Amino acid sequence: MNNQLTIAHIFPALLSTYGDAGNVSVLRHRAESRGIRVAIVDVLPGDPVPATADLYVIGGGEDAQEMRATELLREDSGLSMAVHRGAPVLAVCAGMQILGEWFTDGSDSRVIGLGLLDLRTERRSVRAVGDVIADATGVPDLPTLIGFENHRGATSLGSDARPLARVLHGIGNGAAEPVEGALQGSIIGTYLHGPVLALNSGLADHLLAVAVGQLAPMNDMLAEEFRANRFQRARA
Ligand code: GLN
């Protein structure tokens, strides 16, 4: 196990709906609890995206912020260099849409994304809002995922991407198949907020393990209680 971890947090203020920035805090907490030293690089608009970080996190955002982030990232090769080297990336909601081939804006024009995920996002007529429960079919041994979604995207996966999960409750990607999120190489895309890693510690540990190697088990009663409460609420 590598005992040093650098996390690049891409545009923490621009892309941070529903507390998505908390994903970075969860990663830090779970890494530090295993004795890993963590450095966080907040990549601000105008900063180059470092190509050498160990783990990348990009959150969700409103349409205008999503457009701005897309323009900035298209001019920067740091993230794609990291992806081609196999660095793990968590991309939430707008973050996932940006990493795709294209998404449509408010006037139904296509906005070209980074092309790192084989997916395309059109606009749903109705927003998908509410709790999501999904069976994490894409990652071995991951417990059922739970989170909150609020988006207008209908995201279809191409053949190079596979779903993160099968939707049991809620909308998820909202295209033909009842699936949620996307996996391609070392990228994990999801529509889940929560923050998703606070509600799904297993997913946080999966990302950390890809970044630093096998982790010691960790018992976090508070995280488990938080997660159990959310399941109870979603099922009520
Ligand atoms: N603006 C995008 C949409 O509505 C993403 C929303 C989000 O990241 N919460 O689909």
- Taking only the tens of pLDDT, the chain with its 236 residues reads 889 999 999 999 999 888 999 999 999 999 999 999 999 999 999 999 999 999 999 999 999 999 999 999 999 999 999 999 999 999 999 999 999 999 999 888 999 999 999 999 999 999 999 999 999 999 999 999 999 999 999 999 999 999 999 999 999 999 989 999 999 999 999 999 999 999 999 999 999 999 999 999 999 999 999 999 999 999 88
Atom number of ligand 1 nearest to Cα 149: 9
* Residue spans per domain, the chain: 4-235
Q: How far is CA 148 from CA 35, 63, 74, 112, in A?
A: 31, 18, 28, 26
pLDDT for position 22: 97
Annotated catalytic residue within 9, 93, 151, 206: 93
Active site (annotated) includes residue 193: yes
Measured distance CA(182)–CA(138) in Å, rounded: 8
Cβ atoms 110, 102 nearer than 8 A: yes
Atom number of ligand 1 nearest to Cα 60: 8
The answer for residues whose C-beta is within 8 angstroms of residue 166's C-beta and 6 or more apart is 134, 135, 137, 178, 179, 180
What distance in angstroms lies between residue 209's CA and the mean position of ligand 1's atoms?
Answer: 28
Distance of CA 34 to the CA centre of its chain: 22
The predicted model scores a pTM of 0.97
Strands 4-10 and 55-58: parallel
Please, which residues bridge with residue 197 across strands? Answer: none
* Candidate of 11, 58, 93 to mutate for ligand 1, largest count of ligand atoms within 8 Å of Cβ: 93
Residue 111 beta carbon below 6 angstroms from any ligand 1 atom? no
Active site (annotated) includes residue 151: no
Helices H / strands E in the chain, number of each: 7, 12
Smallest Cα–Cα separation from 80: which of 98, 61, 102, 63?
98
Measured distance CA(223)–CA(236) in Å, rounded: 20
Measured distance CA(131)–CA(3) in Å, rounded: 35
Atom number of ligand 1 nearest to Cα 123: 10
Structural fold of domain 4-235 = Rossmann fold (3.40.50)
Q: How far is CA 133 from CA 71, 93, 179, 198, 231, in A?
A: 32, 16, 11, 15, 8
What distance in angstroms lies between residue 94's CA and the mean position of ligand 1's atoms?
Answer: 5
Cβ atoms 234, 199 nearer than 8 A: no
Residue 66 beta carbon below 6 angstroms from any ligand 1 atom? yes
